[in-house]
Structure formats: structure tokens, C-alpha cells
Amino acid sequence: MTRDVVNGPRSPVWAVQSRSCSFESGFDSLASVRAQMRRMSGSRCCVISSRCSSAGWHDLGSPLPVARCSRHLHGCFLVSVGLPSSSRQRLCWPGTVSSFAGHWTFPRRDAPSPNALDTDVVALVLRPARESPRWGYLRIVGECTKLGVTVSAASVRNVLRRHRLKPAPRRSGPTWSQFLRAQAGSTLACDFFSAGTITLRRLYVLFFLDLERRKVFLAGVTAHPIGSWVTQQARNLTMTLEDEGRVVKFLIRDRDTKFVGPFDEVLTSIGARVVKTPVRAPRANAYAERFVRTTRTECLDWLLIRSKRHLERVLEEFVEHYNAARPHRAIDLEVPSPYVSGRGLDDSTRIQRVDRLGGLLHEYSIAA
């Protein structure tokens, strides 16, 4: 550890700290200090550099003989003060040296440097650096030049360093979760889940989920999910997206054999890229799996499904409740389709409850 302390035009004087006391102090160069440290095998040393004169030190008493104080020198500093020709040894504790070092500081400049930037220019440099974290020094210089302010790249670098702003692109930026949420605006997920009827018949449900607002598109219900049926549901989805003006860049699906080649071709025709999850990795499509769990725990586990038509009516009503009335934690307790209340709460406000699926689901709103 090397520390420079400046308080005058004196030449540097070097001292050595060690657990052992078989050494001398008052070296006039760092090379001689290193040579002495190499001769002190097995000792733990550190080097201190100072530029203060002997007048800057308090008198700590007469120097103690080194040979008699070897057992008391654990953790102490044996310091030389002044020029090498007139150096004096003093035995100092680390706290004493630290208290001296607190007074050996650079002189404070009361007047600003003649070539210092104006505060307005500094504020102009900091604003794009904070608002556009991917901009580098030269880009900020160019923006200042457009505004009629001449500043160099070195000045921009010094300003950012002084205000603890790192160089681009490490200055700041979105976290990994924020990056994923930014990509969710143009991403859909799809999956199948099954439901049983009271006649022991198994039905399959295909759905699509918008990852940005958690909006669900119920594709259909069938007992035989063949490739032609799945492809037709993809065509119906593309028409719905075109009517809403939505742009889809990615579609996440698993490797189920129900998703045949024409299914991917339909989605590719609208500019979407089909992303397949790894084998036996349901967490790779976690949003779709979470919707399946919500559908089961809040709806299907509490009902007896009689037929395909019954399941379609139940899921249509549940998806309508899911999109228009159910808050979601992933979107700050909002609903996928934003609900706007035209009036606030007062003494005359009456809250009404709307029951769905025979009272299984409850929705609350302000009565008209």
C-alpha cells in the first residue's frame, strides 16, 4: 500500500512497517526500500511515502532503541521524517500516523481554474449522459456542437468522472427483467391444456397469451387436435391481430407434435418468429403454464363439465373475466383491458357485485 501526502516542496522520504524490527528507515528512494524488503524474508511490510518536513510532525519523545523494543513493535510504524541526511526515527502507532495524514491534504483552490467549464455547460453535458446511457463521449460532444456549445471529448470525460458516471455502455441501463419486459410487447405464447368431462371424455383447449398485458385469446376446444384444426386456429388469430393493429415478432411454443409445419408458416407470414422451448422444460413457457394453473384453480376445479359446448361457454366467460375484471400482479394490479371509472367514491356511490358462472366468480364495479 503506497500513499502520497503533499504539503510542501520536500523530497520524498520512505519508511517501512513490519512485524520484524531488524531494518532501517530513512530511505531516499523506493528502489532502496524494495531492496530492503527483499532482504527481510518472512516479514510483512508496507511502504509509506510522505513529502512533509520535520516541522510538520509532533514530537513523540526520544526514539526508543529498536533492539530493546522488538516485542512492542507489533503493528507500529517506524517512521523517518525529513531529508535523508537529517532523518529522525520516531515510533508511531497507526492511529497517530492517520491523524497526521488527515492534515496533509492538497491546498484548496478558492478561485476556479481559468479553463474550467461553466455550470451551464456542465449541466448540458450531464443531461444527455443521464437520459441516454448508451451515448459515448463523442456523441455527447456532437449533440453539444449542434446546440452551439464547443466542448472537447476530454472535458466530457472529466465531467462524467467527477459526477461518477461511467463510460457508455456501462453507465446505466435496463436490468435483465426490464429488458425481458421490453421484449414482451411483441411476444405471444401458446399452449394446450386438457379438461375432462363427467362422461370421461378428454377435451383439448388451445389458447394464446399476450405477454405484455397478459391478455388471453381463446382459440378453441376440440376432442381431436389434428394439424388442420390447429392451423385454422392460427389463421383466426392472425385475422384478430390484424383487426387490432397488433404486430407480433415472436411466438413461444413447446415441441408438441400438434403444432405442425403449416401452423408455423401461418405465423411466419405475418412476420412472427416461432421460438420452440427446450425438451421437457415447461418453465421456458412459464406465462402460459401460469394461466393454465389459474384456469384450473379458479374455474375448472370447481365445476363439472358436461360436454364440449359446456366447456366452451365456461371458458369464454372465464376469459372475459380474466381480461376485463381480474387484476394481475405482473402489470401492477391492473387488468389486461384497462378499466376506467368515470366517477370517484363519495357518500352517494354504490358498489355493485356481478356474479359469473353461477356465483363462482365475483366482479365489483360502481353502479351507474
Mean pLDDT across the chain = 75
Percent of the chain with pLDDT over 70: 64
Q: Does residue 352 belong to any structural domain of this protein?
A: no
DSSP 70: G
Domain boundary among 70, 101, 132: 101
pLDDT band at 207 (very low <50, low <70, confident <90, very high): very high
Q: Are residues 136 and 253 in the same domain?
A: no
- pLDDT the model gives residue 134: 80
Cell of 198: 363427467
CATH of the domain at 194: 3.30.420.10
Domains held by the chain: number: 3
Q: Same domain, yes or no, for 237 and 271?
A: yes
User: What single string gives the DSSP state of each residue in 154-200?
Assistant: HHHHHHHHHTT-PPTTSS----HHHHHHHHGGGEEEEEEEEEE-TTS
Confidence grade of residue 170 (pLDDT, cut at 50, 70, 90): low
- 86 and 125 part of one domain: no
Name the pLDDT band for 96 (thresholds 50, 70, 90).
Answer: low
Residues 30-88 pLDDT 10s: 556 556 555 544 433 343 433 333 333 333 333 333 333 333 334 444 444 443 444 44
Q: How far is C-alpha 192 from the geometric centre of its chain's CA atoms?
A: 34
DSSP letters for 101-131: HTT--PPP-SSPPTTPPPHHHHHHHHHHHHH
Residues 208 and 243 in one domain: yes
Is residue 342, in this structure, part of any structural domain at all?
A: no
- The answer to whether the CB of 300 falls within 8 A of the CB of 292 is no
Give 217-227 pLDDT, tens digit per residue.
999 999 999 99
- Could you list the residue range(s) of the whole structural domain that residue 152 is in? 116-173
- Asked if 265 and 245 sit in the same domain, the reply is yes
What is the rounded CA–CA span in Å between residue 231 and residue 3? 73
Residues 17 and 45 in one domain: yes
CB contact at 8 A, 21 and 77: no
Beta-carbon count within 10 A of 55 CB: 8
Residue 109 within a domain: no
Q: Are residues 124 and 233 in the same domain?
A: no
In this prediction, residues 233-243 reach a mean pLDDT of 94
